[in-house]
Structure 1
């Protein structure tokens, strides 16, 4: 009789494990008080994040092309000034050279400002994404009966079963799309 009870207990353990694995493989959320998410991956792999990355790369490409054009123009002007130097008085050349240097510094400040504006746009878009993501992530937590959502990078060791990054990306794509609606309707 004891042998039968042990066999039954082992069989029930296997059935319970099979049901648990089966439920997990079909995407049934299981209750866990703690969930993790990789927020960088969530942003970068979402439609919103991909659109922002594409927009920023396009702006950076335009700025880079503009910088190359300006650089070529300034190099040509510098070469012309160097050639004129022999025919100019030292004081006259110094004034022209100083004006050129001042213009170059002004252009550098202007172009650096454009680069900072692009970086600020990226940061603002990222902040907008995470603000819009909060209700979606809160709903996922509620559905999974979780109490806390932790950044995956801050966890030393965890089970992949508590990582909801892929699920969050799917939900965010469905809720936010590429985020253009948020820009049009602030």
Structure 2
């Protein structure tokens, strides 16, 4: 009787241990409960800054002013350029009959005049370039709050320049909205002849 009772107790203990181990295994193997509040998907907006600069009223106004400034520079410097061209033609025609020392002196004088004229052209171009850069900085200052407002309205987390994006199928383009609001806030800006900062790169060509 005692031996049978001992066997039964042994089987019961073994069963309890087996059940406990099975529960422990399942607890270890069970996946963690899902986390609450998963991170929201990023909402991306695109804006074509090149088109904003070229297609807005203020951008087109800048282009007209630049064309006028270039035409004015051409008018002012055209006479000097024609005189240089005339002198060059005469020098070429007389080169065969001029004494070597006279020819060398006249060529040197002409080269000095041509270099001085070229410097004038470059300086005027730099002043126009500096004016465009200053005007574009003013546009950027006005455009910043506009883009921030659009982001808040659309609940966007990211705003990218379209030229820097290779593929973004779910992104929303807000270029037209940006242009409309920029037209209302800044339809024009004065382009003034301004020396560009040292080492400044020329502004991109507007389309």
Q: Which runs of 5+ in 1 are unaligned?
A: 1-31
Give 1:79 shift. 2.7
Which residue matches 1:8? none
Return the match for 1:135 from 135, 142, 145.
145
Which residue matches 1:74? 84
Which residue matches 1:155? 165
Higher helix share: 1
TM score, norm. by length of structure 2: 0.62
Q: Which runs of 5+ in 2 are unaligned?
A: 1-41, 193-207
Which residue matches 1:177? 187
Which residue matches 1:5? none
Task: Say whether residues 1:46 and 2:56 are aligned partners.
Answer: yes
Give 1:146 shift. 1.6
Give 1:65 shift. 4.8
Which residue matches 2:6? none
* Bigger shift: residues 102-111 or 120-129: 120-129
Give 1:149 shift. 1.1
Secondary structure of the 1:126 match is: helix
- Cα deviation code 1:18-67 (max 9, x no counterpart): xxxxxxxxxxxxxx732110010011111110111111122223334556
Task: Say whether residues 1:123 and 2:142 are aligned partners.
Answer: no
TM score, norm. by length of structure 1: 0.68
Measured in 2, the distance between the counterparts of 1:156 and 1:56 equals 32
- 1:101-112 to 2 correspondences below 5 Å: 101-112=111-122
Q: Note closer, same or farther for the CA distance 1:160–1:59 as it changes in structure 2 (3 Å cut).
A: farther
Measured in 1, the distance between the counterparts of 2:85 and 2:163 equals 47
Q: Which has the higher contact order (CA 8 A, sep 6+)?
A: 1
Give 1:171 shift. 0.6
Measured in 2, the distance between the counterparts of 1:146 and 1:172 equals 19
Measured in 1, the distance between the counterparts of 2:188 and 2:80 equals 34
Measured in 1, the distance between the counterparts of 2:129 and 2:70 equals 9
Answer whether contact 2:53 2:59 (CA < 8 A) is retained. Answer: yes
Cα RMSD for the two superposed structures: 2.7
Task: Say whether residues 1:94 and 2:104 are aligned partners.
Answer: yes
- Cα deviation code 1:123-144 (max 9, x no counterpart): 2222221122101111121122
Answer whether contact 2:62 2:132 (CA < 8 A) is retained. Answer: yes
Measured in 2, the distance between the counterparts of 1:88 and 1:154 equals 61
